[in-house]
Structure 1
Amino acid sequence: MKVRHEFCSIAPVLDRLCPMHAVLDRHGQVVHAGPTLVKVLPDQVVVGQTVFDLFKIRRPLCDGSMLALLRLSGSKLHLSMRAPPHTDLKGVLVPLHGPQPENGCGHAVLNLSLGISVQEAVRDFSLTSGDFAVTDPTVEMLYLIEAKSAAMDASRKLNQRLQGAKVAAEEQAFTDTLTGLKNRRALDAILARLIANEQDFALLQIDLDYFKAVNDGLGHAAGDHVLQVVAAAMVDETRKVDTVARTGGDEFVIILTGVTDAAKVGDIAARLIARIKRPVTFQGQPCQISASIGAALTCDYDVPLVSRLIEDADHALYAAKHRGRGRYVVFNPRDGLD
């Protein structure tokens, strides 16, 4: 009775100083468990089980008896939970009433620690600083983990914002602000990539006819509106794999990826010309324009060069204009203009 009375008086002290402990009787049965120990063994009734039912003692070797365990009192014990997730623990056993006699009578306290498993245990068992003694170094480690987690979260959010800003800046750098099409810089990068990958394509140089008359007669607002309508029409008449770029005031370039048939290029050019020729209304006033197109195909060259393609497509464009505007010409490097 004396042992039981003294134990009852120190139980609250043990719960505060070492909340992850178990008080064992002389048979190794748990007669009291600290609040943190109960928390990390939520699916088990801890009190009433033996220490050997709850934990596997890995080092030092023990034959599974309380007498053998008492002989290890004061030594560092390496244990693991028998229940999932089989968390590794460190521990030390201390008799409550000094050295035990050989028959192992009396109570003992097994104080446990999570050791290097603390981070996983905090996650697995939802532990907080309140589950540890205030003097436990683990509390400081929890603060470090929380601080690291907060810092990583802030860093991740900052990186996301920076990445978003970078993408926005890159898009702005490669986008024509008026039409939303690719600009000259983007076109140069796309052409270089296609040539490097030895991928065939058709290059169409497009120039708007009579656009200056719109600007002079109705003002730049009308001209901007016409450019936006024309840009939308070009996007509608091409595929997602194609590229539509505005390279100057009323100058555009279309890259038809994978196209090697001059007749198909002609069909697309004719469709574009017909679409652009439709009158555009601005503030009730009709804006009448047309388009001249010159084209060159990489498949017509033994060694296609961007500069040569652009130059030949440009020659074809001016040939289309000289032939009356509102038409297309496909350049043939072997025979000249078609």
Structure 2
Amino acid sequence: MSSITSRTLLDTLCPMHLVLNKTGHLIHAGPSFIKILPRAEAIGRRFHDLFKLKRPQTDNSMRALLSLAGTKLHLKLRTGARTEMKAVLTPLHKGNCIGPAGGAVINLSFGISIVDAVRDYALTSADFAPTDLTVEMLYLIEAKSAAMSASRSLTTRLQGAKIAAEEQAFTDTLTGLKNRRAMDHVLARLMDQGTPFTVMNLDLDYFKAVNDAMGHAAGDYVLQKAAQIMVSHTRGEDMIIRTGGDEFVLIFPGLTKPERIEEIAASLIAELEEPIIYEGQSCQISGSIGAAISTDYCRTELSQLFEDADAALYAAKHAGRGCHRLHSSARGRRAPSS
């Protein structure tokens, strides 16, 4: 068998092998090694110029290297990514078809550094012998990577679906405002944080007349326009909740000044009284508002706060609608301010 045929056979069975002459110079390298160290940088170089022999340690002579035949060698490339490798050496005797007598064949592998090597040198399964267990490990790594990627993608989609479902569960579908379920969460958070707030109950006046005279489509449109007006009069941290057909609750975290509360209420009512045009017809509504401030109550009196905001709302309605009342902060038996 010719030396060319023998080396071709080695290139197939041991694509990471090296052939050294008797002086320790590299005269041939398998195709996978050439991907790691280009031929022009490898062929003709001394083995010890290319590799650092970590274990066992010897001098840099070819004689010492040949004495390690059959021993597992621990190597490290001196250039490039300085990848660590494992190797085994077989001396070449007179009459072989691979290289000159006195030389050696060294078969290399990456060992536990295989993952880094695949990344650093863009290796594929074609760079290893078909029977090499490394190929199986590469398949496992690829499968694990694909599985983890699919798992992350699924987790992201599930989290997105969960957030969307929670958002939908807390949202009034007609107006896009929050619903009563969301209000409970907001109030619990504000109470836990000790954040003072104002509750404003708002009912749309004359809404039933619009609904009865012009139909539910007109009523839905009016509700949506009213919701937009409320949003335009609130801050990002405020919450607007639709609690019933034409009933709303506005929560203002950190807002406790009566003057500012009454200013917001007056502004809301003024804009709600502007005619809303639906299909060329004018829909006339207004708003009645009752408010209460959380600083007037202890933690266990949350239900009382809402009762008093309701009482203030009914006082506004009884005063002729289209107006607002802020519940008195006087202790003892509270009464709506007139």
Aligned to 1:97: 93
Instruction: Give per-residue Cα distances to partners, 1:299-334, cap 9 Å, x unaligned.
Output: 223446431221111111111111111111111231
1:337 aligned counterpart, secondary structure = coil
Aligned to 1:138: 134
1:128 pairs with one of 111, 124, 128: 124
CA-CA distance at 1:43 after TM superposition: 9.2
Identity of aligned residues (%): 57
Q: TM-score, normalised by structure 2?
A: 0.93
CA distance in 1, matches of 2:178, 2:92: 80
Aligned to 1:48: 44
Residue 287, structure 1, aligned to residue 286, structure 2: no
Aligned to 1:66: 62
* Conserved 8 A contact 1:195-1:305: no
CA-CA distance at 1:6 after TM superposition: 5.1
Instruction: Give per-residue Cα distances to partners, 1:199-252, cap 9 Å, x unaligned.
Output: 011111111101100110001111000000011111111110111111111111
CA distance in 1, matches of 2:243, 2:193: 23
Moved more, 133-142 or 89-98: 89-98
1:252 pairs with one of 240, 248, 255: 248
CA distance in 2, matches of 1:312, 1:44: 89
Q: Cα–Cα, structure 1 residues 283 and 131, in superposed 2: closer, same or farther, change >3 Å?
A: same
Moved more, 153-162 or 23-32: 153-162
Aligned to 1:336: 335
Aligned to 2:35: 39
Aligned to 2:114: 118
1:332 aligned counterpart, secondary structure = coil
Q: Cα–Cα, structure 1 residues 59 and 308, in superposed 2: closer, same or farther, change >3 Å?
A: same
One-letter code aligned to 1:83: T
2:6 aligned counterpart, secondary structure = helix
Superposition RMSD on alpha carbons, in Å? 1.7
One-letter code aligned to 2:259: A
* Conserved 8 A contact 2:23-2:103: no
CA distance in 2, matches of 1:275, 1:62: 92
Unaligned runs of 5+ in 2: 95-99
CA-CA distance at 1:42 after TM superposition: 4.5
Aligned to 2:78: 82
CA distance in 1, matches of 2:238, 2:315: 24
* Conserved 8 A contact 2:177-2:240: yes
* Conserved 8 A contact 2:11-2:30: yes
2:161 pairs with one of 159, 165, 185: 165
CA distance in 1, matches of 2:38, 2:2: 28
Unaligned runs of 5+ in 1: 99-103
CA distance in 1, matches of 2:39, 2:308: 79
2:221 pairs with one of 221, 225, 230: 225
* Conserved 8 A contact 1:192-1:306: no
CA-CA distance at 1:9 after TM superposition: 3.4
CA distance in 1, matches of 2:92, 2:85: 21
Aligned residues: 329
